[in-house]
Amino acid sequence: MNNGWAQQWFLNRKIARAGLIVCLLAGIAHSQIGDRGRDTNDGLPEAEFHMARMIYRTFGGAGSRGFAQPWWAIDYPMAEEHFLPALRRLTNLSVADDSQHLELGDDRLFDYPFLFAQQVGQGYWRPSREEAERLREYLLRGGFLLVDDFHGEYQWAVFEAAMQRVLPGYNIIEIPDDDPLMHVFYDLGDRIQIPGRRHVRWGSEGPVVAGMEGPPHWRGIYDDHGRLMVAISFNIDMGDAWEHADDPYYPEPMTALAYRLGVNYVIYAMTH
């Protein structure tokens, strides 16, 4: 067999095999998200609290712990599998076992007052006019949006442009220390950057947060009555801290802080 021809034959086999693996992973991810993030209770509420993930058009995605997900579903399902039981345990709330996954045009959107959006920068979230109007109505009618896990000035610009379409005329500001969000359940005085697992490096004196694209910011958008409508975790990866709660490599204090923050977000959203 000619060596050059043989090398090309093996290369073609590898490419075909890689393509098959990508297709299988995409199919598995779609199946997992579709089966786990759907309404399985005939529209009836399962609990006092339901978390909804915002589906948006995106290209590409990433994987973790064997799951290949689109950007809007990053950290799913492990983030929910860890945080939702913790929320139930820490607050005694009746909490649904899983999140629901909803597009902004879904009529069920207004049944879920807590909406979670991830990787809006990397996923290049750009709502259409109809989606922006729908989300604006949702927020002004009392809905709460938590945005997490986007980093750096480019991704901030993507998010800021999207919010200008959603809430024109509303300012994004730093959430002050005395805001009820920071004290509604836990008193959160220390604002420590919560890294993604990929950003954690361990040194001789403990974990070191490395490679984050700037300092952490807890920002928000308030309505005309002072209610926080949109909470923004910028240069923070709270979802990763939930996802890796059982990972001995990930620092436990970061997960504990992410749990406390998550609890405060939920309690605030349900009481304001």
pLDDT at 10: 35
Under the banding of pLDDT at 50, 70 and 90, the label for residue 13 is: very low
For 203-254, the pLDDT digits (tens) are 888 888 888 889 999 999 999 999 999 999 999 999 999 999 999 999 999 9
E strand or H helix at 254, and its extent? helix 252-271
256's torsion region: left (phi>0), alpha (psi -120 to 50) or beta?
A: alpha
- The verdict on 153 and 89 lying in the same domain is yes
Quote the percentage of the chain above a pLDDT of 70: 82
**What residue type is 134 in one-letter code?**
R
Determine, yes or no, domain membership for 258: yes
Determine, yes or no, domain membership for 122: yes
- The verdict on 193 and 63 lying in the same domain is yes
For 128-167, the pLDDT digits (tens) are 999 999 999 999 999 999 999 999 999 999 999 999 999 9
- Residue 159 tokens read as 């998010």
User: How far apart are the C-alpha atoms of 40 and 52, rounded to whole Å?
Assistant: 14
- The verdict on 30 and 102 lying in the same domain is no
Which one has a higher pLDDT value, 59 or 256? 256
- Residue 119 tokens read as 């990787």
Q: What is the mean pLDDT of residues 114-125?
A: 96
Closest CA to 56 of 38, 74, 68, 77: 74
Q: What is the mean pLDDT of residues 47-71?
A: 84
Which CATH number characterizes residue 165's domain? 3.40.50.12140
pLDDT of 95 higher than 90: yes
pLDDT at 43: 58
Task: Give, rounded to a whole angstrom, the gap between the first and last alpha carbons of the chain.
Answer: 74
pLDDT of 24 higher than 60: no
- The verdict on 30 and 164 lying in the same domain is no
- The verdict on 222 and 88 lying in the same domain is yes
pLDDT at 26: 40
Under the banding of pLDDT at 50, 70 and 90, the label for residue 35 is: very low
User: How far apart are the C-alpha atoms of 132 and 140, rounded to whole Å?
Assistant: 12
Determine, yes or no, domain membership for 41: no
- Residue 203 tokens read as 């040194």
- Residue 233 tokens read as 């975790």
Q: What is the domain count for the chain? A: 2
Tell me 101's DSSP state. E
DSSP string for residues in 180-240:
GGGTSSS----------GGGEEEETTEEEE---SS--EEEEEE-TTS-EEEEEEET--HHH
Lowest mean pLDDT among 60-64, 101-105, 147-151, 177-181: 60-64
- The verdict on 114 and 140 lying in the same domain is yes
Lowest mean pLDDT among 54-63, 143-152, 190-199: 54-63
DSSP string for residues in 133-180:
HHHHHHHHTT-EEEEEEE-HHHHHHHHHHHHHHHSTTPPPEEPPTTSG
Average pLDDT value for the chain: 86
Buried/exposed 157-196: b ≥16 CB within 10 Å, e otherwise:
ebbeebbebbbeebebeebeeebebbebbeebeebebbbb
User: How far apart are the C-alpha atoms of 13 and 146, rounded to whole Å?
Assistant: 45
Tell me 120's DSSP state. T
- The verdict on 128 and 246 lying in the same domain is yes
- The verdict on 61 and 27 lying in the same domain is no
pLDDT at 42: 55
pLDDT at 211: 80
User: How far apart are the C-alpha atoms of 134 and 128, rounded to whole Å?
Assistant: 10
User: How far is residue 221 from each of residues 135, 145, 173, measured CA to CA in Å?
Assistant: 13, 10, 7
- The verdict on 32 and 108 lying in the same domain is no
For 124, the domain range is 49-271
Under the banding of pLDDT at 50, 70 and 90, the label for residue 3 is: very low
